[in-house]
Amino acid sequence: MNEENLELNAVEDHDGILTIRGGGGRRDWNGIHYKQGMSGKNVGTARLSANIATIPPGGVAYAHIHVGFEVILYILEGKVRHEFGPGLTKTIENEAGDFIYIKPGVPHEVYNMSETEPVVAFVARSSAAEWDEIIPYDRTKKAPLA
């Protein structure tokens, strides 16, 4: 049984309200661990996806761009630093209790500022495709990677 089938099997459909008990399994992408969550892939959403992201101690979500969709995060645990903008020359720090909104097309790289504690965040996207519409970003060329 492959990973996608495991996700589909975890979804309960109650005639219009769908549930994943306990948040489902874990998947990894770009240095981040994602608790399964919901998306077009497993519950058929048309314009939304959401899950819980964990950046391990000292971890980095490498430079990338969200193509054509918005992201809102709520930091549940830990402290992060975003380097963002062309060439990733701007910096902002956020911690537990902060909401973060990332506009489409803004290049950014995310760092867990702790070497001992994870960062845990709720992530909501205006895309049912989760991270399928995310492209790597080359900070040295100030452009997306081809």
Q: What is the pLDDT of residues 64-94, one digit of tens each?
A: 999 999 999 999 999 999 999 999 999 999 9
| Residue-level pLDDT at 146 | 52
CATH of the domain at 119: 2.60.120.10
**How many domains does the chain divide into?**
1
The letter for the amino acid at 96 is A
pTM of the model: 0.83
Q: Is residue 107 part of a domain?
A: yes
Query: Using CA atoms, how far apart are residues 18 and 113, in angstroms rounded to an integer?
Result: 36
Q: Is residue 92 part of a domain?
A: yes
* Domain ranges, residue 59: 26-144
Could you give the 3-state DSSP secondary structure of residue 4?
helix
Q: What CA–CA distances, in Å, run from 6 to 41, 77, 112?
A: 12, 27, 29
Q: Is residue 19 part of a domain?
A: no
Q: Is residue 10 part of a domain?
A: no
Q: What is the pLDDT of residues 108-134, one digit of tens each?
A: 999 999 999 999 999 999 999 877 788
| Residue-level pLDDT at 137 | 94
Could you give the 3-state DSSP secondary structure of residue 134?
strand
Q: What is the pLDDT of residues 17-32, one digit of tens each?
A: 998 887 666 677 777 7
Q: Is residue 116 part of a domain?
A: yes
pLDDT at 38 over 60: yes
Q: Is residue 70 part of a domain?
A: yes
Query: Using CA atoms, how far apart are residues 32 and 18, in angstroms rounded to an integer?
Result: 25
Q: Is residue 65 part of a domain?
A: yes
Q: Is residue 7 part of a domain?
A: no
